Every structure is written in structure tokens, then in C-alpha cells.
A = this chain, B = another copy of it.
């Protein structure tokens, strides 16, 4: 398989390096051939090419089987008046590759449960898979300004179409069938017209194509509450781009260990994009302090969703559990106890796999 690595900014290169070691040892153990090429994205791409997503990177991604991304952004490129910013690269790669579905599993590692800001009795057993729509909604709607001076106003349009809703709901419903067979769709249909369309299309798809999946609908404001006081009640959750951005970040706090959470962005057939959900953490970049486990878990998702290699995926996930069970911790999850380096954590996972 042809794998593209996009290390990006901040701690990106360090964590991708460890994940690549894991890919290499998996290839050796299961007798696969993985080819790797690294390309530019984000701030470093702005510095080197003046473009957060150079055409060369897009081309390489399009020809690949899957993409592993580190992280993008940092204070160096944060000037609001800058012509272009690292995040523009992220939005563009999603659109260029048609990555309309962002999958974010929120799962607790038993060993880390005390890191959760929630009480143990609330959080224990939480296991949610989010599907966030990623190439539509208000993120890509028409925007602009009108008037000027004291009366200037700015607008941006939220839009959803029938096929956009159908395809993400179908993906989420299929995933629900592989899990606990329950799907929750989140919208704001009491206020927003695109949410009303979303709600009726989702209901039709579920009724016609997935009558066996238990299906319900929750308003986005209520969902923001439920995630905190009854997270265990959800299995698969599907929602639009903006609501998904907020809710998945909220949910990512529940386990209390951001450094452990991967995500996958999938399209129709083409390569998927895999990444940790945490950011580029410029404050600790280059110091060997970053936790590579989310990126390593992202490679497990890559095995599963882009290469169809389930055993390999489970093996990686098992190895991560094993190093945690051994008590190994990077600083972010050490809670004041002994911490090991990024590379030592990579060593430990690799050791489990060889």
C-alpha cells in the first residue's frame, strides 16, 4: 500500500515518526509492503511554498491508499491578517479529497479512567462513535460582508442537501450495525431549516434502509448536556459539520486524555485521512514530551478503514493497551507520576509488536 505522511507542524513530525515505526513493524509481522512518502501541509507548507496545501501534496494524496496526518498550526502563523493560515490547508484537503465523514471514537482506556474530569460512575463504560459531516454545512457556505463602517454586517450560509445527508447517515447507520445497533442524529430542527431537511432525510434513510437499527433524534443543545451527564447512553452519533466540531471536541474531554484519541476522515472510495485529534502543541514541540499514542491509534483506524486489515488494527490497539497496562505514561497522562519520552513510548509499542 502507498501511504502518505503529512507530519505538519509542532509535535506533528515527532508523533508521526513513532507511528511510522509502528506501521513498519506491522508490515514486517504481517508481511505487507507499505511505501511511504512525506509531504508538506500547514504552517511549514506556508513557510516553504506560500501555500498551506501545495498542489504537489494534493496530487500525492490522491494517488495514495491512505494518509497519516500529524497536526497543523501554531502561533507563528496565527496572525489574523495573514493572507493564508495553516487551517486553510485542513479545510482544503477535506474538500479536495471528498472526505465527507469524520469518525471520532470516544472510548475510555480503563487504566486512564481517573484522568477523566467526570466522576467514575458517570463515565465508566462510555463508548461513542461520532460521525461528523465534514465537507458541507456552514463551513463551506457562501460568505461575505455588506454595508460598511458602523453598519457593516457579515454573513455565512449554512446549507445541506439531500445527498449530503443521505451518505453520512448511511455510513453512520452501517457502523451502528457493527456495534450496538443504535444511532442518534443531532440537529437543531426547532430553529434551522437545514436541520429540518437533515431530520426528515435521516428519518427516511433509517426507515427505508435500516429499520433494524434503533434510531433517535436529539437537539444539539440537549446533546451538549447529555454528553456530560449520561455519556454511556450513546452508541453511534451522526451530526453536521458545525455541531460535530463542537460536540466531538466536548466529548473528547470526557476520557481526560486527549493524547489518546484518533480520528478518521473518509470519502467515497478514495484515500482516507487519519490523525490524532489533539493539536500541534507548539509549547512542547521538539522536546520529546508528546504522546504518540493517538497517532498510533490513528494507524489502527487506517488499517481498518482504508486497508481492510482488521487483525492488524486490533493488534495495534492491543499493543497500546498493553503498554498502558505496563504503567508506561507520557507526561500528559502521567498525572504527576513517572513519564517517558515520545520515543520511549514508541519503543514500548514496537516491543509489544515484535
Residues of A within 8 A of B (CB): 80, 85, 87, 91, 116-119, 122, 138-139, 141, 143-145, 147, 149-164, 188-194, 196-200, 220-222, 224-225, 227-229, 242-243, 245-247, 249-250, 252-254, 256
Contacts and interface: CB of A to CB of B under 8 A. Distances in A.
A191 to B, nearest CB: 6
A138 B149 CA distance: 22
Contact of A246 (B87, B143, B160, B221): B221
Nearest to A192: B156
A192 B143 contact: yes
A8 to B, nearest CB: 16
A152 to B, nearest CB: 5
Given A161-B147, A250-B225, A256-B229, A197 B152 contact: yes
A315 B71 CA distance: 52
A157 to B, nearest CB: 5
A104 to B, nearest CB: 12
A156 B153 contact: no
A80 B189 contact: yes
Contacts of A194: 153-156
What are the nearest 9 A-B pairs in CB distance?
A153-B161, A154-B197, A224-B250, A143-B193, A221-B249, A228-B253, A154-B193, A154-B194, A155-B159
Which of A87, A116, A193, A256 has most B Cβ within 10 Å? Answer: A193
Contacts of A245: 188, 220-221
A46 to B, nearest CB: 15
B156 A162 contact: no
Contacts of A200: 80
A118 to B, nearest CB: 5
Nearest to A224: B250
Contacts of A150: 162-163
Contacts of A155: 141, 157-159, 193-194
A163 B229 CA distance: 37
Contacts of A198: 154
A85 B138 CA distance: 25
Given A163-B151, A249-B222, A117 B228 contact: yes
A159 B158 CA distance: 11
A92 to B, nearest CB: 12
Given A156-B192, A188-B242, 12 more contacts: A118-B118, A118-B119, A138-B138, A138-B158, A143-B192, A144-B193, A151-B162, A154-B196, A156-B157, A156-B194, A224-B249, A242-B242
